[in-house]
Amino acid sequence: MKIDRITCRVVDFPLDREFHPAWARGRNQPNLLMVLIEVDTDDGLTGIGAAHAGLEAAVTIERFVAPYFIGQDPMHVESLVPVLRDTEILGAPVYCMETTLWDIVGKAAGLPVARLWGGYSDRVIAYCATAEVRSPAQRVEDVKRMLDEGYRAVKFRFHLPDPLEDLKVVEAVRAAVGDRIEIMVDANQAGVEPGHGGHRAWGFAMALTIARELQRMRVRWLEEPLPRHDYDGLRRLRDRLDTLPIAGGEDNHGLHEFKLLIDRGCYDILQPDALLSEGVGQMRKVAALAEVAGLEVAPHTWGNGIGLLANLHLAAAIPPRSAERMDRRGARPDAPRAARDRRRGLCSGARTSGLRDRARRGAHRALHSEHAYDHRRRLIPAPPELEDDATRFDADTHHFHGVARVPERAATLQLELPTVPRARQHGRFLVDLH
């Protein structure tokens, strides 16, 4: 089998209302961008993937990936992975391309990828992660609705000018519903937004102050309390805490850096993303490193349903400490939906993480979604015989390609880049690397 064509389409999904992500204060995000990737083979199979990105990812694939993938056997995934790693030297990270290869492997084998990887479980627990800053009173109402909808865990964003004010959300929710819901907190300090006029940068002292308060309030984890390369700071912070796990990794890249994060003792919970930080198959290696180091892996997802599915397959394949479950019900309270995508299930804006309690806390594993769950109800239908708060991840029927792949009319903007063969044909090839 040979790859004979790669097509990238940049798709723009307008959101159905204003969206002010907590991690980018002052920004009204009008849309979700994705790049739909189709890898065609000479025997008729097509691998589907998606980038949580725009034109930069499509151009990168065109320039730095397609010339090396065309003509190669897509079943030899490991032989093609180095191309994706080297691509990041000069281009945008496009680890998402590995998803297309595994999709082809799954289709050729007639098995879901999670099963090919030795699938451990078919269930995950969902938690509802919020994306905007809201008042304590609003969050109490949000959480009550989440509980009614079946959620058993929620993640809040801490982004107020005074982070001590953010604590009032956790205090209010604890006072209102007690321990009926697990609480996680994401500070989003790993990326550049705090340094670009976005939310407040914490620093070590503030991170420690907040972490100790969250520990006192029995918070499940604190996510990204410091910059992603502050390995020493993360380790020092972790060393000064007793029961509060530190989570992160969505902004770190590459298998080698995840090994570094483990070796330096930065996190209790690693959160690589199959579209952003490593290839989905390589994330299994991260999971193996984490397993022997006694750490958890909670795959991160943001931006589109294909990425959600890729991370779901990983979550279903790596060995958890008990059953996985995923809540099927409810809608995330504070993020708009990509209007057309709502029907197509392509760009759900879903954020997914798996978590496993530490052994001392009793084991379970969760997978959470940040956005509207009707996407996932569509993507991952629940057999009616399951209990109310659980959804079965049916790996038998959901390959990577188990999502709608008809984005044309879903987009307000669609840009198709020339593939390598067609580019040659039309003389539009950007840079011929052969």
Closest CB to Mg ion among residues 299, 418 = 299
CB of 22 to Mg ion, least distance (A): 10
Alpha helices, H only, 10-90: 55-60, 66-69, 77-90
Angle at 97 between CA 311 and CA 230, to 5 degrees: 65
CB of 223 to Mg ion, least distance (A): 5
Instruction: Tell me the per-residue interface mask from 306 to 335 with Mg ion, x by CB under 5 A, - otherwise.
Output: ------------------------------
Q: How many chain residues touch Mg ion (CB under 5 A)?
A: 2
Out of 186, 213, 230, 324, name the contact with Mg ion by CB under 5 A.
Answer: 186
Does residue 193 touch Mg ion according to CB under 5 A? Answer: no
Cβ contact 269:246 at 8 Å: yes
Which 3-32 residues touch Mg ion, going by CB under 5 A? none
CA dihedral 329, 335, 339, 343 (to 10 degrees): -20
The Cα 7–Cα 419 span in angstroms is: 6
φ and ψ at residue 413, rounded to 5 degrees: -135, 130
Candidate ranges 182-190, 332-340, 365-373, 403-411; the one touching Mg ion (CB under 5 A): 182-190
Closest CB to Mg ion among residues 66, 270 = 270
Q: What are the Cα distances from residue 351, in Å, to 100, 110, 249, 376?
A: 20, 28, 14, 11
The Cα 204–Cα 222 span in angstroms is: 14
Instruction: Tell me the per-residue interface mask from 27 to 66 with Mg ion, x by CB under 5 A, - otherwise.
Output: ----------------------------------------
CB of 251 to Mg ion, least distance (A): 8
Name the token pair of 251: 């902004």
Does residue 273 touch Mg ion according to CB under 5 A? Answer: no
Does residue 251 touch Mg ion according to CB under 5 A? Answer: no
Range list of β-strands (E), 219-305: 221-223, 246-248, 269-270, 296-297
CB of 414 to Mg ion, least distance (A): 29
Cβ contact 244:222 at 8 Å: yes
Single-letter code of the amino acid located at 171? E
Q: Which 3 state secondary structure label does DSSP give 129?
A: strand
CB of 199 to Mg ion, least distance (A): 13
CB of 430 to Mg ion, least distance (A): 33
Does residue 268 touch Mg ion according to CB under 5 A? Answer: no
Instruction: Tell me the per-residue interface mask from 221 to 240 with Mg ion, x by CB under 5 A, - otherwise.
Output: --x-----------------
Single-letter code of the amino acid located at 257? E
Angle at 193 between CA 134 and CA 33, to 5 degrees: 85
Candidate ranges 33-41, 78-86, 179-187, 399-407; the one touching Mg ion (CB under 5 A): 179-187
Query: By the criterion CB under 5 A, which residues form the site for Mg ion?
Result: 186, 223
